[in-house]
Amino acid sequence: MIIFYNIVKRNTLGGLFLLNKPAFYFSLITAKTAYTLLRATKLSSGTSIIGRIVLKLCPDFLRECNKYIGTKINVTGTNGKTTTSGLISHLIKESGHSIINNAMGANMLTGVVNALSVSLNPFKNTDFSVIESDEAYLAKIYEKLDANYLVVTNLFRDQLDRYGELATTKKLIQDGINKKPDLTLLLNADDPLVASFEGEKTIFYGVENVYYSDESLKSKSHTEEAFNCPCGKALKYEKKFFAQQGHYYCDCGYKRPEPKYKADVTLYKDCSILKINGVNYEIPLVGLFNAYNALAAIALALELDIKDIENNLKTFKVAFGRSEVKYLNGKRTLIQLIKNPIGANEVLKTVDKDSNLLIIINDNYADGRDVSWLWDAEFEGVNDNKHEIVVSGIRAHDMALRLKYAGVEKIKIIPDIKQAVEYVGKNAENNITILPTYTALLKINKLKELHTQCY
């Protein structure tokens, strides 16, 4: 069969002309065909394999995408990338704009190419792209993909085997920023590392005050991050919310930058309310960490003049594993991704002590091979759970040992993830909480035992 690669493309004047770019268009056709087949056969979720194929067919694929997308937004940082990019995408889409987003959270180079290749329409421009980007791959992505906005959420110690210490992670992101001099940065003012990124245009967002509707939601973490001022002295804090995030200053005059978008946050058991410029924004997400994610998304939406933000926030559906609710044997099951000590601590604060808890720890490449972070996370917070805690995954025994030292008395080890989920579903008396690492989350997302509706 002879394949003709001449494809009709609409130019900016509305006319038509033939454009001969065989590799790019053939890669698009291949990606869309492969994606359809993968979905039909359920052989793979297709979050990165298609990207690898596309890059083999067209190494310059990202550069070719630029002309088909209007405003290009990236989201990076240690925690909250998927939720923040999901919120931004939801607000943009609900306001009537077309959008491409790597919603499944595959944020390395192949995952980004995957999302663009299966969604891009070469005959019609897309208004926005919202691309979650792994910190280590941002510079590679920016070598070819143009960008208008970069949102940076936070910088915590994470996967030290991949990134090393925070100075290395910060440098990786700054290298990406340096490739795009016209980039507008939207930075978390409360994180001293994030606030110190350098760019031609910076916009800051931050939390002013935090209120708790119930004292049970208020708990202090003992895991802190200490940072020095550029002058060399340790930073001081007027207010500290968690980890290194808060209102910091130094006697030399260095201090937290004044945010353009600042919020008073009230935390409830099943939602949060952010008051920004006199307007209350309710989000169906729990925890202060999610309030920061929402603040970043709202700040960007306001900057872009997106309409009806308040109403559209209420209809947001979380990405899989990020405060996601499913049902197991008819029992409400909350799934919360954990992957580093700071993030885990914030999630552990939200765990219902009456629920049946399943913790699944893997150490595959995407999780991080080093699981020493388990000893930095404050699992002492669940030592008074009413039911036995089930542990599973490749490092189930490591997790069991950590819980033993945390004072947990009733621990059951079931290394096989499917068997562990089945056991909890069968024996749970009421609600269930599952805390998985990333590849464990991918595994349980495929299990037929978990449903999105209660049957």
Instruction: Please list the active-site residues.
Output: 370
Cβ atoms of 336 and 290 closer than 8 Å: no
Cβ atoms of 21 and 82 closer than 8 Å: no
Q: Which residues contact 336 (CB under 8 A, 6 or more apart)?
A: 321, 322, 323, 347, 350, 351, 433, 434, 435
- DSSP per-residue letters across 4-59: P-EEEEE-TTS-EEEEE-HHHHHHHHHHHHHHHHHHHHTS---SSHHHHHHHHH-T
End-to-end distance of the chain based on CA atoms, in angstroms?
A: 50
- H runs (alpha helix) in 60-217: 61-65, 81-94, 109-119, 138-142, 160-163, 166-178, 192-195
Q: Which residues contact 128 (CB under 8 A, 6 or more apart)?
A: 69, 70, 71, 72, 73, 92, 97, 98, 99, 100
- Cα angle for residues 169, 102, 196 (degrees, 5° grid): 30
Q: Which two tokens stand for residue 436?
A: 């998985």
What is the side-by-side strand order in the sheet with 149-152? 99-101, 126-132, 69-76, 149-152, 184-188, 201-212, 261-267, 272-276, 279-283
CA dist list (Å): 373 to 158, 223, 289, 442 = 8, 11, 19, 21
d(CA 78, CA 135): 7
- Cα angle for residues 158, 160, 162 (degrees, 5° grid): 100
d(CA 129, CA 397): 42
Cβ atoms of 203 and 185 closer than 8 Å: yes
